[in-house]
Amino acid sequence: MTNYNGYCVKCREKRDFDGQEVELKNGRRAAQGACPTCGTKMNRILGKKA
């Protein structure tokens, strides 16, 4: 797992989370993981593949 920075909607703060890279239905890359504080699912849209 890689460390990403994202916004937790429940905590209303930016946090670092451990996540894995996935491909969304529309073909975009994203990082998905859980908030280390509250456990809510977090997402971060990533750039295009290199």
Write the pLDDT tens digit of every residue in 1-50. Answer: 799 999 999 999 999 999 999 999 999 999 999 999 999 999 999 987 75
Phi, psi of 16 (to 5 degrees): -85, 135
Phi, psi of 6 (to 5 degrees): -150, 175
Q: Do residues 17 and 32 make contact, with C-beta atoms less than 8 angstroms apart?
A: no
Write the pLDDT tens digit of every residue in 9-23. Answer: 999 999 999 999 999
Q: Name the nearest CA neighbour of 6 among 35, 27, 29, 48.
A: 35
